[in-house]
Amino acid sequence: MLLKTLLAATVLVLPHAHAQYVIPAADGSDGWADAFYKAKELVAQMTFEEKLNTTQQLQAPRVGAVPRLGYTGLYYADGSEGIRGLPFASAFDMALNGAASFDRGLLYRRAAAIGEEARGKGINVQFGPGVNLMRVPEAGRGFEYYGADPYLAGQAAEQHVKGVQANGVMALMRHYINNEQESGRHYTNVLVDDRTAHELYIWPFQDAVHAGVVSAMCAYNAINGVHACNNEQTLGKWLHEELNFQGFVMSDFGSIIINEEGRSANAGCDTVIGFTAYPFNDTQIFGQAPFGPNSALSRALANGTVPQSRLDDMATRIVASWYKLGQDQDYPLLETTANVLSKEHNELIRELGAKSTILLKNENNTLPLKNVKYLYVFGQAASVDLYGFPRPGGFSFGIDDDKGTFPGGQGSSYANLPYLITPFEALQSRARKDQSQVFGYFDNFNHTRQATYAAAADALNATCLVDVRNQCSEGYDRANLTASWEGDQTILAVASRCADTVVIYSACGPFNVTSWVDHPNITAILNPGGGGQEAGNSLVDILYGEVNPSARLPYTIGYQLADYPAVADTTLRPPNTSYADIDYSEGLYIDYRWFDKNEIEPAFEFGFGLSYTTFSYSDLSVQPSTASLYADEKPSSQALYDCLALVTISITNSGEVDGTEIPQLYLGSPAADSPVKVLRGFESVYLKKGESNTVTYQLTRRDLSYWNTQIEGWTLPTGEFQVYVGASSRDIRASGKMSFQLQ
């Protein structure tokens, strides 16, 4: 049967004293039984030192290998845009682009390709998905994640886990938890209430666990006064007890605090990369291994602060993950220089780049370009960085590095580019094909000359393309929402003299459009995000209509920074004596939820994106379960994923060209203090002109529930749900209502 009546939940109340808490040992449930049986047999044959070796990585390429038992140990690789720092691997579109596609199939294929390349090099653990939320618009690392909505991030996380692990490579979800800003990340303390934590920030991690992710990485920051890597509430209660996580937890580099190593192990951290860190400091790393032989952990085991059973559990979780992914069976040997590049992956990167390019404005059908004779291109983002980025040696954190075409953000997620197709290169190839003329001027700082050349273009009735971008990186948040390197001034200089100006704004998050969005000469705006190595080809596919744009904003673009509920404090510096508190006082109301609650008009709302065709919506049907349902369910229950309602709607391509629509379903809950609406469904629907299709959404118990702090579980509320289906969070095309009969 489609709909099920669920059993009542038991009350979950698990208080713990910090000094006494030890996470429950993994029990092999949720499909892990066979892997745990094998792992326990192997770990039982390990010596004390061999078990400790599984828990610490310093400089050795492989962690914890026990050749005499056939255990190969694990090799870790960073990089949410591909494999970090290794040659002959692809630089994929950034994760935020995947979110912008609103396409589960593309998200899966991107992840599967990353997993395929990782396996080809013999990598055991590929870091990703990153599922922190874009709480603050300036978030420097937002490009690594999936936007501002927990449902969207959770759906993307599920596809990433399944895609990577389909290749036998371990996915690693990060950064657990509340690493929503980079400024002061080593010493910030997030103050978050229980309901907000569960309905927003735990939500996408829960989806990753449900999808079968085998590893997690704890973050640098503290939550409610306790560091993420030794937090009994977040690691112990939330992740291991409530979500029944069976895999292993790894620290981020330097995220184990000195003198708290034993507490980290007891709270649920199983293995470490890097050294112990001083508290409240993001610049000094102490040169001591927290785990492994001759470590603080080994001493804690000797004096009984950490029980021997916890070490057994740590090693078992790690080895079970190795078995779970079949890495004991003919897994490739590590070869970091193996060439895993392929034509198929090049084409996938180009496809995703186009399908994640968001069309924000298109006056008078400026795009797609037709019958082009002359094209004038402005802005340094249209061409290569003349100062030599990407660097042959790998990634950079420098604020003024990488001033050319935007393939993706910087930091530890950066993948070395095997090549980079710039927009200007791709436009020249198109000009050669069309026998047209293309002109380029890339200096972002000479606005007088920009205006002069724009006037020359206008005299020829030419289109002017202005390509600007953000600079974003791990390690710091953006200081503001303006375009980097005088990009906004470049836009205005060109638009002042060219009547047909198309803005290409390669963004890594929300950006300020106030000074130029309504300029009469700016006829079109595109946001391609970070398109990886094929960025230029993807953009040209959209500009010339080879691909009809379908992407949607995974965040809200406001008119001013003050429109957002929270901003990053980029002035934070190491205080060295205490945490710097970040109060998540907005609660459930981030991004579009805040804009809706306070009736703030955005420049472009969450879920917004235009097409070269039009779509109509009709025949909304809402079918809730008619069974008598128990209201409450515990957080570890698989019943949370039972379908309790079906919503269907018909979509018709009413325009003149084939295209893809992204109909989105939002719910308004009758639960007290709930947002006006929250995303609870989306589909990518390709339709030929004149074609119609019916879209079906299955709403689960968790989709419909709120986190009940009294029972510490999920509760179906009494009252009437509002059901909205539309083309964005503000463009609602059909609405309905439903309610449930509760026992």
Average model confidence (pLDDT) for the chain?
Answer: 93
Give 255-294 pLDDT, tens digit per residue. Answer: 999 999 999 999 999 999 988 888 877 666 667 889 999 9
**What is the band of 392 on the pLDDT scale with cuts at 50, 70, 90?**
low
User: According to the model, what pLDDT value does residue 388 have?
Assistant: 57
User: According to the model, what pLDDT value does residue 387 have?
Assistant: 59
Give 425-480 pLDDT, tens digit per residue. Answer: 999 999 999 999 999 999 999 999 999 999 999 999 999 999 999 888 898 899 99
Give 283-329 pLDDT, tens digit per residue. Answer: 666 678 899 999 999 999 999 999 999 999 999 999 999 999 999 99
Question: What are the distances in angstroms from CA 200 to CA 75, 145, 247, 309, 634?
Answer: 32, 14, 22, 34, 17
User: According to the model, what pLDDT value does residue 269 have?
Assistant: 98
Bridge-based pairing of strands 685-687 and 741-742 is: unpaired
Q: Is the pLDDT of residue 228 over 60?
A: yes
Residue range 231-246: average pLDDT?
98
Token digits for 658? 């084939």
- Residue 175, preceding bond cis, omega within 30 degrees? yes
Give 332-345 pLDDT, tens digit per residue. Answer: 999 999 999 999 99
Give 144-200 pLDDT, tens digit per residue. Answer: 999 999 999 999 999 999 999 999 999 999 999 999 999 999 999 999 999 999 999
Q: Is the pLDDT of residue 396 over 70?
A: no
Respond yes or no: is residue 252 known to be catalytic.
yes
Bridge partners, 707 (sequence order): 714
- DSSP, res 243: S
User: According to the model, what pLDDT value does residue 104 have?
Assistant: 98
Residue range 568-577: average pLDDT?
79
Give 79-99 pLDDT, tens digit per residue. Answer: 888 998 899 999 999 999 999
User: According to the model, what pLDDT value does residue 17 have?
Assistant: 40
Instruction: For the chain, list the domains and their CATH numbers.
Output: 32-325 (3.20.20.300), 357-546 (3.40.50.1700), 613-739 (2.60.40.10)
Lowest mean pLDDT among 2-11, 41-50, 311-320, 376-385: 2-11
Burial 259-283 (b: 16+ CB within 10 A, else e): ebbbbbbbbbbbbbbbbbbbbbbbe
Question: What are the distances in angstroms from CA 94 to CA 217, 262, 361, 447, 627?
Answer: 19, 36, 23, 31, 44
Rg, the chain, Cα only: 26
* Per annotation, catalytic residue among 93, 103, 207, 252: 252
